[in-house]
């Protein structure tokens, strides 16, 4: 009886890993932050990039987000892919400082640009950042994120 | 091979023995820990050493780097000089044979050996007389010389840097000049498969792991920045030709490197330790009796190993390629264990091993263990399985969905039959995934049957149907109640049928043959490919959403950002500013370099980059699909630094934005740099881009073939732009606007019909400048040829992989390679059928290619004729050649080039020549053919980077002058009925299907032919082992019938003869024995008679010594009787069993050998045993006879299955032989061990009697356990002492 119990338990664990785990991560990645002001959202994004906080950043990402990052990364990715891509990206390009230099809060197409200073192979360099937002229901999500 | 495997075995045994015992494992663990500590201490010491001696260290490090870099340049230089010498030598040899010197020059330098080099030959007066097909560095005039003769130097051209040398070549008192150049650096970069990256700077940077700058200029001064280190590159004459500048290594970086290196070593040691521990525990693992414990142990070990691999980032840490890129696949599953194709593969391997073990243990539980005593518990777990089964089916579909949707790889988008390594890795992943799920699902089916219907290993069709219905019901229920069932009903049914069929095969056999693993692998592949195809089709449909997002993404802020970023990158960089101010620079090339490295190229945007002088006159530019202004003099006065000009058309939604930025130095404008983007739906996907300039980073082409889609853009319900060759009618537009859209995303799906085809249409609404914009993107379904191609593309790769696995397994198992008759037959069939089919396929491909080439050339010829006639007509109207050519290009829209002698005089797309991307000099092979071979027309395949295209040249006469007209495929779309890729798709699909049918039919045919032979072989083997009751039943006709009937007849005769012989022998033996006995008995009888007669006489005579005599006679009589008794005993001994021939053998092996004899009979023999082997000492041939006798009895009792179970008791082995035959009548059951009892017509009744007799002799026994109409069970007891 113990044997079959263990078999079944393992199977339950297995299916949990497939479903529950997926569910959990999807919840973690649930995109968008409810806010009437895209300015607040831009500040949150600025903070996330500055701290290389991928988990926080992925809250503003969904499969409609276009990425254009250094190292030939460009396209639309699922939230899972985006999470690991950004994680790898910030591992390679260690953020030294980041600030938006221009934030335009147009209701239709809010966007912000800034300069990101990073370290790669012990060498300090900079990249231009462009972030644009899009309203999806009550939430704001990133429609484009370019770091080049 | 035997020796090798023996050596391996010895080594393994040695390691195994060495690692036996807890003490040794403990020692290894201790050793590993000590090693880790030592490495930590060494690393710390090294760090301290680096800190303390940093100055010495950095000097050594910089010396090493300098030596490495210098060596790399030296290798290039040596290669250059070596080929120069080779060319000199071959020219001398060839020129002395030839009468035409110049012709020989061109022929020789165009040899394949020199394809890596740009070669030019100059006459003694410095005029260019010959060049090769790779030439790109030439001038018409050699003088003034770029460098001293015989000295290597760096040559800077518009788009490239070369390592060059000029040398002289003496021939017949003339001195010619050879200019040989090796391309080492490209200044531009294209993002497509045709671009051939050549960059010595990148190569060196990667090699020395430091950012490197190479100035290909002898006059550059070393960097004054203390953080940098510069050193000179010298040539073959030890003169400076360039300067290399690198970032000096920092102490922080070096310490990090040491720490990373030591942690990598430590992680490898930990893993090594874990492997060693696993190896040491191998025997303990084998000795574990409980499957449950074994499985848990294995699972724990594998999990630990996998987690450690992941934790230490092994092997991803050592690889940096597409297979470690999360963009190619990354799933949220298991905390990153599958975050890239490589990690997915490793996890998959571990999961497959676990699933395989789960399957094996489930099978053992299914066939041997007892189920639960409590029905309640059984049903409880059965219900859990019924819930789990559909969930795991769904999990399989979810995993396959993830493989497609969580990856940027498009498995079926491209035509390539052979995928790249990343896609190949994913194909293997897909197969492993399918195999794991199949193992688990089949295991669950087996467990369910065991839990619900535990029938002591009997297969009952009714049970199978009940289990199948339960599983189907639960799967279909989940499918119908689920909101998003993931797969469609066809996929689900195919998967269910597969699982149930394999479940049926296994439960019927009660065991798994190797062929079932093959079946599982093949069906895992089939189901995976079906799901992959299904999800890919969905993904393709979903991809059109991305195209809609792309259209919306390009708004004014983004375009402005792109333009400003491009200009800023040029103007804000000091080194770029220095280049811009150079007088000798080709600004067209510079603009192209900037453009190629910008997002304008990456995203295939109709765009330009232009550089103007301080007066607003264009210095140079590069454009695709958007013309720049030739002069901006008027504009200059209207802005200070930057100006943005928006020429967009709000009504048609065409965006045309350009920016102009002044580069001001010391208060004066030096230059103006401008960039512009023209974005419109009608020209999406780089429609105006020549093929060699296309970008793989363009989103639209990344997901889908742009030709498959159609786009409609509406502004306030009015169609303002469309992409494709059709547009919707009124009814369709009405339908689109009546569609109910999602309230959050404002989007939705519908279907449109164009012609006979249905298109899936995605509709999304947005707003722009308070106008409602509706974008509709549609896609047509796949054609059948595509589906066939897609299916076989993956399935064939899976088959190759399965074949490799099987080959490895076979090679590890088979000691001596030999092929059966059937295998030989199959191989022969395959060779004689597949080879011609493959050749036919290749031939067809070749013919189609040739036809395609003819079609394209004819098309180019027609275009050339049109151009020729039109230019001729224009020139008759006194218009000059340049004007005429422009006019003809404009009116015909045909791109062409005109050459006078070998120089370009006109091109419809001049900018590619102005930038230096294409040569203004005529292709040297064409020059050779026209000038020396006197050809009037010539067609060839040319290349831009590695992009091949057809090119047609024709000599034309215009106003008495000879020109060479060139029309090519690179700039003129030349359509064929089918592209070569489409040929491949159709041919590959059709021929793959043909080959699968051939393999299938060949296997059937080989089976059919070899089956009687195989049965004959087995029957002969059975006769050899003493079973003369064997009979081959068949339905064959012709010669095979005669052969098999002959065999049966021969067996009957043999059996009859054997019986007669046995009877004769027995009779003869009895006769001889009787004679001997009579003789032996007679001997004591005579003395007996005489003695008794003497005793009678003595008694009658009443002699005195009667008593004494009586005593003597009695003694004699008793002796004689003893003699008789001895004779009787000897006689009895003679009649006993033959003497035993005891030997050591494996009982299970013997049973397997015997059951193999009956493979072709209608009987299934299953052998169950707790152990893999039972070594016993016994008479092998006697035991074989007993088993054969029992099996034969079962067959004659019409049994269809026999189960032989071996159970070990304290001192014996109990062997149960259980059949499902018609049984033995109750009345006969007591007599079966009696002599001469038989129910068979031809039976002698000796079989069971002999068996009993033999077994009694060896202290064993045979008993009838039970017998009824449902079957008979015999028990054989054999004495067993573990050896």
CB count, 10 Å around CB of B1077? 16
Q: Is the pLDDT score of B970 beyond 80?
A: yes
- Is B297 in CB contact (< 8 Å) with chain A? no
| Mean pLDDT calculated for residue range B965-973 | 91
Residues B951 and B969 sit within 8 Å (Cβ to Cβ): yes
pLDDT at B1139: 65
Which stretch of B668-682, B1105-1119, B1262-1276 has the lowest confidence by average pLDDT?
Answer: B1105-1119
The helix/strand/coil state of B972 is: coil
State how far the Cα of B36 lies from the Cα of B672, in Å rounded to an integer: 62
The confidence score (pLDDT) of residue B864 equals 94
Cβ atoms of B515 and B544 closer than 8 Å = no
Going through B716-799 in order, the beta strands assigned E by DSSP cover 718-723, 747-754, 757-768, 771-780
B399 touches chain A (CB under 8 A): yes
DSSP for B529-593, written as a single string: HHHHHHHHHHHHHHHHHHHHHHHHH--HHHHHHHHHHHHHHHHS-HHHHHHHT-SS--HHHHHHH
Q: Using an 8 Å Cβ cutoff, are B883 and B869 in contact? A: no
Query: What is the pLDDT at residue B1169?
Result: 81
- What pLDDT band is residue B944 in, cutting at 50, 70 and 90? very high
The alpha helices in B715-820, defined as continuous H runs, are 730-738, 784-813
Which H/E stretch holds residue B524? helix B514-553
Confidence class of residue B978 from pLDDT cuts 50, 70 and 90?
A: low
What HEC string does A88-146 produce? Answer: HHHHHCEEEEEEEEEEECCCCCCEEEEEEEEEECCEEEEEEEEEEEEEECCEEEEEEEE
Give the residue among A80, A67, A135, A127 at the shortest CA–CA distance from A99: A127
- Higher-confidence residue: B5 or A59? A59
Q: Is the pLDDT of residue A33 over 70?
A: no
Q: 């008789």: which residue's tokens? A: B1124
Segment B1191-1226, tens digit of pLDDT:
888 888 888 788 888 888 878 888 999 888 888 888
Determine the distance from the C-alpha atom of residue B1112 to the mean position of all C-alpha atoms in its chain, rounded to a whole number: 102
pLDDT at position B1240: 55
Any A CB within 8 A of B326 CB = yes
Q: Is the pLDDT of residue B20 over 70?
A: no
CA distances (Å), A106 to each of A109, B643, B765, B942, in order? Answer: 5, 21, 18, 51
Q: How confident is the model at residue A25 (pLDDT cuts 50, 70, 90)?
A: very low
pLDDT tens for B647-661 read: 988 888 899 999 999
Element at B1076 (helix H, strand E): helix B1038-1101
**C-beta separation of B1249 from B1227 below 8 A:** no
Grade residue B1050 by pLDDT with cuts at 50, 70 and 90.
Answer: confident
CA B773/CA B766 separation, integer angstroms: 5
Which chain A residues contact residue B602 at CB under 8 A?
Answer: 68, 74
Q: How far apart are CA B304 and CA B306, in angstroms?
A: 6
d(CA A67, CA A86): 10
Sign of CA dihedral B203, B204, B209, B214: negative
- Strands, E, within B218-262: which ranges? 228-234, 240-247
The interface predicted TM-score (ipTM) is 0.79
Q: Kindly report, residue by residue over B248-273, the tens digit of the pLDDT.
A: 888 888 888 888 888 888 888 888 88
Pairwise CA distance, residues B103 & B92, whole Å: 14
Q: Calculate mean pLDDT across residues B743-751.
A: 86
Banded pLDDT at B22 (limits 50, 70, 90): low
Q: What are phi and psi of B123, to 5 degrees?
A: -70, 170
Instruction: Report whether the peptide linkage leading into residue B144 is cis, meaning its omega lies within 30 degrees of zero.
Output: yes
Sheet holding B947-958, edge to edge: B903-907, B897-900, B961-968, B947-958, B937-944
Q: Write the residue in A8, A66, A84 that is nearest to B330 by C-beta.
A: A84
Classify each residue of A27-63 as buried b or exposed e, where b means 16 or more C-beta atoms within 10 Å of its C-beta: eebebbbeeeebeebbebbbebbeebbbeebbbbbbb
Three-state DSSP class for residue B1085: helix
CA distance, residue A11 to nearest chain B CA (Å):
8
Q: Is residue A30 over pLDDT 50?
A: no
| For residues B195-211, average pLDDT | 89
Mean pLDDT of A106-114: 81
Whole-angstrom Cα Rg for chain A: 19
B76, pLDDT greater than 90: yes
Nearest residue on chain A to B395, judged by CA atoms?
A18
- Average pLDDT score over residue span B967-974: 87
| Sheet hosting strand B174-186, strand order edge to edge | B128-131, B117-122, B174-186, B160-171, B152-156
Q: In the prediction, which pLDDT does A19 show? A: 45
**Segment 551-610 of chain B within 8 Å of chain A by CB:** 553, 555-558, 561, 565, 568, 599, 602-603
Hey, is the C-beta of B252 within 8 angstroms of any chain A C-beta?
Answer: yes
Report the gap between the CA of A81 and the closest CA in chain B (Å): 5
pLDDT for B573 beyond 70: yes
Give the mean pLDDT of B563-575. 88
pLDDT score, position B152: 95
Averaged pLDDT for residues A18-43: 56
Contact status of B436 with chain A (Cβ, < 8 Å): no
Count the alpha carbons within 13 Å of B1065 in the hemisphere toward its beta carbon. 6
pLDDT in tens, A115-139: 999 988 777 788 989 999 888 777 8
| Number of helical (H) and strand (E) elements in chain A, helices listed first | 4, 7
The whole-angstrom distance between A78's CA and the closest CA on chain B is 6
Nearest CA among B709, B649, B658 for reference residue B685: B709
Closest C-alpha among B635, B657, B630 to residue B646: B657
Assigned token pair, B607? 């765009």
pLDDT at B17: 61
Least confident residue range of A19-23, B218-222, B580-584, B629-633: A19-23
Interchain CB distance below 8 Å, B408 and A84: no
pLDDT at B3 over 70: no
CB contact under 8 A, A75 and B451: no
Picking from B85, B130, B128, the residue whose alpha carbon sits closest to that of residue B108 is: B130
Q: Do B332 and A80 touch (CB under 8 A)?
A: yes
Q: Confidence band (pLDDT; 50, 70, 90) for B161?
A: very high
CB B496 within 8 A of CB B471: yes
Spatial CA neighbour of B178 closest among B85, B76, B78: B85
Cross-chain Cβ contact B253/A121 below 8 Å? yes
Task: Tell me if B110 sits within 8 A of B924, measured CB to CB.
Answer: yes
Pair A125, A94: CB distance under 8 Å: no
Is residue B1075 very low, low, confident or very high in pLDDT (cuts 50, 70, 90)? confident
The rounded distance, in Å, linking the Cα atoms of B354 and A13 is: 14
The alpha-carbon gap from B321 to the nearest alpha carbon of chain A, in Å, equals 12
Mean residue pLDDT across chain B: 84
In angstroms, the CA B253 to CA B801 distance is 43
Q: What is the DSSP letter of B598?
A: S
Express each pLDDT in A62-105 by its tens digit.
Answer: 878 899 898 878 888 888 888 888 988 998 899 999 999 888 87
What pLDDT shows up at residue B774? Answer: 92
What pLDDT, in 10s, does the model give residues B603-650? 999 999 999 999 999 999 999 999 998 889 888 888 888 899 999 888
* Residues B928, B110 contacting (CB under 8 angstroms): yes
| pLDDT exceeds cutoff 80 at B1079 | no
Four-residue CA torsion sign, A87, A92, A96, A102 = negative
- For position B905, what pLDDT does the model report? 93
B135 touches chain A (CB under 8 A): no
Q: Are B220 and B242 in contact, with CB atoms under 8 Å apart?
A: yes
Q: Is the pLDDT of residue B1 over 50?
A: no
Q: Does B292 touch chain A (CB under 8 A)?
A: yes
**Mean pLDDT on B1231-1251:** 64
Closest CA to B968 of B916, B911, B923, B903: B923
Can you count the helices (H) and strands (E) in chain B? 32, 30
Q: B62 pLDDT exceeds 70?
A: yes
Residue B807 Cα to chain centre, angstroms: 16
Average pLDDT in the B854-864 region?
92
**pLDDT tens profile B467-507:** 899 999 999 999 898 888 888 888 899 999 999 999 888 88
Confirm or reject contact between B538 and chain A (CB < 8 A).
no
* For range B397-413, the mean pLDDT: 86
Q: What is the H or E stretch that residue B964 is in?
A: strand B961-968
B699 touches A: beta carbon within 8 Å: yes
Preferred mutation among A1, A5, A6, A7 to probe B, highest tally of B CBs within 10 A: A7
Minimal Cα–Cα distance from B1223 to chain A, Å? Answer: 36
Q: Please tell me what DSSP assigns to residue B483.
A: S
* Residue B84: CB atoms within 10 Å: 20
Among residues B217, B84, B211, the alpha carbon closest in space to that of B146 is found at: B217
Which range has the top average pLDDT, B584-598, B984-998, B1163-1177?
Answer: B584-598
Judged by CB atoms closer than 8 Å, whether chains meet at A68 and B599 is answered as: yes
On the question of pLDDT at B204 being above 60, the answer is yes
Question: Given pLDDT bands bounded at 50, 70 and 90, which one contains residue B1039?
Answer: confident
B502-555 pLDDT, tens per residue? Answer: 988 888 776 667 778 888 998 999 899 889 988 888 888 888 888 888 888 888
What length is written for chain B?
1283
Sorting pLDDT into bands at 50, 70 and 90, what band is B373? low
Q: Is the pTM of this model over 0.90?
A: no
> Do B327 and A11 make contact, defined as CB atoms within 8 angstroms?
no
- Tell me, what's the pLDDT at A27? 42
Residue B889 predicted with pLDDT over 60: yes
- Nearest alpha-carbon partner for B987 in B863, B800, B848: B848
Cross-chain Cβ contact A136/B745 below 8 Å: yes
Q: Say if the Cβ atoms of A76 and B549 lie within 8 Å.
A: yes
What local confidence, expressed as pLDDT, does residue B118 receive?
92
Pairing verdict, β B897-900 and B961-968 = antiparallel
Q: What is the pLDDT of residue B149?
A: 92
Task: Give the residue among B1264, B351, B688, B562 at the shortest CA–CA distance from A148.
Answer: B562
CB A18 to CB B557 under 8 A?
A: no
Cβ partners under 8 Å of residue B1258, min gap 6: B1140, B1178, B1179, B1278, B1279
H-assigned helices in B193-250: 200-208
């Amino acid at each position: 009886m113990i044997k079959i119990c263990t078999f079944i338990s393992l199977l339950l664990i297995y299916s949990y890993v497939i479903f529950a785990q997926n569910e959990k991560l999807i919840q973690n990645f649930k995109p968008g932050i409810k806010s009437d002001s895209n300015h607040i959202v831009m500040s949150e994004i600025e903070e996330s990039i500055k701290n290389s906080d991928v988990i926080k950043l992925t809250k503003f990402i969904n499969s409609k987000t276009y990425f254009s990052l250094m190292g030939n990364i460009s396209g639309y990715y699922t939230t899972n892919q985006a999470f690991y891509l950004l994680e790898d990206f910030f591992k390679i390009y260690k953020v030294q400082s980041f600030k938006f230099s221009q934030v335009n809060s147009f209701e239709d197409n809010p966007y912000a640009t800034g300069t990101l200073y990073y370290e790669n192979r012990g060498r300090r360099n900079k990249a231009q950042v462009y972030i644009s937002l899009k309203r999806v229901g009550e939430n704001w999500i990133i429609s484009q994120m370019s770091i080049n | 091979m035997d020796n090798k495997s023996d050596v391996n075995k010895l080594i393994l045994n040695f390691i195994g023995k060495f690692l036996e015992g807890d003490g040794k494992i403990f020692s290894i663990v201790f050793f590993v820990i000590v090693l880790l500590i030592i490495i930590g201490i060494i690393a710390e010491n090294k760090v301290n050493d680096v800190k303390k001696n940093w100055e010495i260290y950095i000097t050594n490090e910089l010396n090493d780097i300098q030596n490495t870099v210098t060596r790399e340049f030296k290798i290039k230089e040596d290669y250059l000089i070596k080929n120069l010498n080779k060319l000199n030598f071959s020219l001398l040899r060839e020129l002395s044979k030839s009468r035409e010197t110049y012709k020989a020059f061109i022929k020789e330098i165009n040899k394949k050996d020199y394809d890596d080099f740009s070669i030019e030959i100059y006459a003694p007066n410095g005029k260019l007389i010959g060049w090769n097909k790779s030439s790109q560095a030439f001038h018409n005039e050699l003088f003034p010389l770029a460098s001293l003769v015989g000295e290597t130097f760096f040559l800077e051209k518009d788009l490239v840097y070369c390592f060059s040398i000029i040398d002289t070549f003496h021939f017949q008192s003339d001195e010619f000049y050879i200019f040989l150049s090796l391309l080492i650096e490209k200044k531009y970069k294209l993002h497509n498969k045709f671009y051939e990256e050549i960059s010595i700077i990148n190569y060196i940077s990667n090699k020395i792991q430091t950012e490197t700058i190479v100035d290909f200029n002898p006059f550059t001064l070393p960097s004054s920045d203390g953080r940098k280190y510069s050193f000179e590159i010298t040539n073959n004459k030890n003169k400076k030709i360039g300067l290399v500048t690198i970032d000096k290594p920092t102490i922080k970086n070096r310490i990090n490197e040491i720490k990373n290196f030591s942690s990598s070593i430590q992680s490898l040691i930990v893993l090594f330790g874990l492997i060693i521990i696993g190896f040491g525990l191998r025997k303990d693992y084998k000795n574990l009796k409980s499957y449950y414990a074994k499985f848990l142990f294995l699972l724990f070990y594998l999990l630990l190993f996998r987690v450690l691999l992941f934790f230490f980032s092994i092997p991803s840490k050592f690889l940096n390629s597409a297979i470690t890129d999360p963009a190619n696949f990354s799933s949220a599953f298991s905390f990153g264990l599958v975050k890239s194709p490589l990690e997915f593969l490793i996890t998959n391997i571990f999961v497959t091993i676990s699933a395989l073990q789960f399957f094996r243990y489930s099978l053992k539980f299914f066939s041997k263990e007892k189920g639960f005593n409590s029905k309640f518990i059984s049903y409880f777990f059965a219900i859990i399985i019924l819930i789990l089964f559909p969930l795991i089916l769904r999990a399989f579909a979810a995993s396959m969905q993830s493989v497609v949707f969580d990856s940027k790889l498009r498995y079926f988008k491209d035509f390539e039959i052979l995928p790249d390594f990343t896609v190949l890795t994913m194909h293997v992943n897909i197969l492993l995934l399918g195999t794991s799920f199949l193992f688990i699902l089949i295991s669950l089916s087996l467990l369910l049957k065991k839990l619900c219907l535990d029938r002591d290993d009997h297969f009952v069709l009714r049970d199978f149907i009940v289990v199948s219905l339960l599983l189907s019901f639960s799967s279909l229920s989940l499918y119908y109640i689920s909101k998003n069932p993931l797969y469609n009903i066809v996929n689900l049914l195919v998967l269910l049928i597969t699982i149930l069929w394999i479940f049926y095969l296994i439960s019927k056999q009660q065991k798994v043959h190797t062929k079932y693993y093959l079946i599982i692998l093949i069906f895992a592949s089939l189901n995976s490919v079906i799901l992959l195809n299904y999800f890919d089709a969905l993904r393709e449909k979903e991809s059109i959403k991305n195209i809609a997002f792309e259209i919306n993404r390009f708004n004014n802020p983004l375009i402005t950002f792109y333009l400003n970023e491009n200009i800023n990158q040029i103007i804000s960089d000091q080194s770029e500013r220095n280049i811009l101010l150079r007088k000798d620079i080709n600004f067209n090339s510079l603009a192209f370099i900037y453009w190629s490295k910008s997002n304008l190229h990456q995203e295939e945007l109709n765009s330009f980059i232009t550089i103007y002088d301080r007066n607003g006159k264009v210095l140079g530019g590069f454009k695709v699909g958007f013309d720049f202004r030739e002069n901006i003099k008027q504009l200059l006065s209207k802005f200070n630094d930057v100006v943005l000009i928006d020429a967009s058309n709000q009504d048609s939604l065409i965006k045309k934005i350009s920016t102009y930025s002044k580069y001001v130095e010391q208060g004066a404008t030096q230059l103006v740099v401008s960039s512009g983007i023209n974005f419109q739906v009608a020209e999406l996907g780089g429609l105006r881009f020549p093929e060699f300039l296309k970008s793989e980073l363009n989103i639209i082409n990344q997901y889908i073939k742009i030709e498959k889609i159609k786009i409609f853009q509406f502004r306030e319900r009015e169609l303002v732009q469309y992409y494709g060759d059709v547009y919707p009618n009124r009814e369709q537009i009405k339908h689109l606007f009546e569609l109910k859209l999602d309230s959050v995303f404002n989007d939705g799906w519908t279907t449109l019909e164009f012609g006979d085809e249905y298109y899936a249409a995605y509709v999304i609404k947005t707003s722009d400048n308070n106008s409602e914009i509706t974008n509709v993107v549609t896609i047509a379904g796949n054609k059948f040829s595509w589906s066939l191609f897609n299916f076989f593309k993956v399935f064939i790769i899976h088959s190759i992989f399965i074949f490799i696995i099987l080959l490895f397994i076979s090679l590890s198992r088979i000691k001596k390679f030999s092929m059966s008759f059937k295998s030989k037959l199959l191989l022969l069939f395959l060779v004689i059928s597949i080879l011609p089919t493959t050749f036919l396929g290749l031939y067809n491909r070749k013919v189609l290619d040739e036809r395609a080439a003819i079609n394209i050339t004819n098309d180019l010829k027609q275009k050339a004729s049109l151009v020729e006639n039109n230019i001729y007509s224009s020139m008759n109207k006194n218009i000059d050649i340049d004007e005429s050519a422009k006019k003809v290009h404009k009116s015909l829209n045909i791109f062409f080039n005109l050459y006078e002698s070998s120089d370009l005089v006109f091109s419809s797309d001049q900018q590619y020549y102005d930038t230096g991307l294409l040569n203004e000099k005529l292709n040297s092979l064409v020059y050779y053919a026209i000038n020396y071979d006197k050809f009037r027309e010539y067609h060839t395949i040319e290349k831009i980077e590695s992009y091949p295209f057809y090119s047609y040249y024709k000599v034309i006469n215009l106003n008495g002058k000879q020109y060479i007209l060139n029309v090519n495929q690179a700039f003129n779309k030349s359509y064929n009925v089918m592209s070569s890729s489409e040929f491949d798709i159709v041919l590959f699909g059709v021929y793959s299907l043909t080959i699968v049918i051939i393999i299938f039919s060949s296997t059937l045919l080989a089976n059919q032919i070899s089956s009687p032979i195989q049965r004959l072989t087995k029957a002969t083997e059975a006769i050899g082992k003493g079973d003369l009751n064997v009979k081959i039943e068949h339905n064959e006709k012709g010669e095979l019938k005669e052969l098999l009937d002959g065999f049966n007849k021969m067996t009957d005769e043999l059996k009859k003869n054997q019986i007669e012989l046995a009877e004769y022998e027995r009779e003869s033996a009895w006769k001889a024995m009787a004679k001997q006995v009579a003789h032996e008995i007679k001997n004591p009888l005579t003395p007996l008679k005489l003695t008794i007669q003497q005793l009678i006489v003595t008694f009658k005579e009443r002699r005195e010594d009667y008593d004494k005599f009586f005593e003597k006679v009695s003694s004699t009589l008793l002796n004689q009787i003893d003699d008789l008794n001895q004779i009787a005993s000897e006689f009895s001994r003679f009649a006993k069993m033959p003497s035993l021939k005891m030997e050591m053998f494996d009982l299970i092996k013997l049973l397997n050998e015997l059951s193999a004899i009956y493979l072709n009979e209608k009987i299934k023999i299953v052998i169950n045993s707790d152990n893999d082997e039972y070594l016993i000492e016994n008479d092998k041939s006697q035991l074989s006879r007993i088993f054969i006798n029992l099996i034969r009895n079962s067959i004659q009792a019409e049994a269809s299955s026999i189960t032989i179970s071996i159970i070990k008791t304290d001192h014996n082995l109990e062997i149960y032989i259980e059949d499902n035959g018609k049984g033995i009548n109750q009345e006969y059951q007591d007599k079966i061990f009696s002599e001469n009892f038989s129910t068979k017509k031809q039976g002698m009744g000796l079989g069971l009697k002999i068996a009993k007799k033999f077994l009694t002799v060896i202290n064993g026994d045979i008993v009838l356990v039970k017998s009824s109409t449902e079957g008979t069970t015999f028990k054989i007891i054999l004495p067993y002492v573990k050896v």
